Amino acid sequence: MDKNFKHYPITYGMILLCMAVYIVTTLLYGPEMDATQALNIGAFNGIAVDMYGEYWRLLTANFLHFGLVHIFVNCYSLYNVGLISEEIFGKRDYAIICLTSAISTNLIPLLMYMYNGFEASVVSAGISGVIFGIIGSLLALVYVRRDLSDIFKPLFINVAFMILISVIVPNISLSGHMSGLAGGFFSALLILKYRMKKKNQLLN
């Protein structure tokens, strides 16, 4: 698989954006950010979005990272799963999957907060929700095409990394990860169903 930039602009673009934002936050706050600093620069928090209407946080939070380990593991995982999904779905559909995952990562926790105050004190950031969304897109592919189940086997190490980070790194929302997974799965499922329907129409 040719892994140069022009073949995978979405994945490489997201990695470069995360790195650029991390450089900026390092210049502002040092290599590690606390929750207050992250909130000041665009991290997600249900209260900030609901009470102050700062809906831009639904997207900006995805590209912020709390520290070097956080961004390294996320970029490494994004590289490994992103190239596979971008190759399979193509640039346009992959971009739709990533955008849906990015929004759902924080939108579902926001709706849960608005309903019952869920995770009111949590300040979260990181592109791991999008990574889980990309994993969800591959799960959707396996769900539709059972004969392709082998493609998911090499990803287990990356999934284990993401779960580990969810446990040991503070201010990372496990609910956000699951929300990203759901967003990626269902958006990819709709894309795959549409492709199959279009293919059947051409054959008839």
* Residues with active-site annotation: 128, 177
- Which two structure tokens, joined as six digits, stand for 54? 């700062």
CA dist., res. 104 & res. 58, Å (int): 8
| Count of other CB atoms within 10 angstroms of residue 100 | 25
With vertex at residue 73, the alpha carbon angle to CA 24 and CA 150, rounded to the nearest 5 degrees, is 140
38, HSE (Cβ side, Cα atoms, 13 Å): 25
Q: Decide if 191 contacts 98 (C-beta within 8 A).
A: no
CA dist., res. 67 & res. 169, Å (int): 9
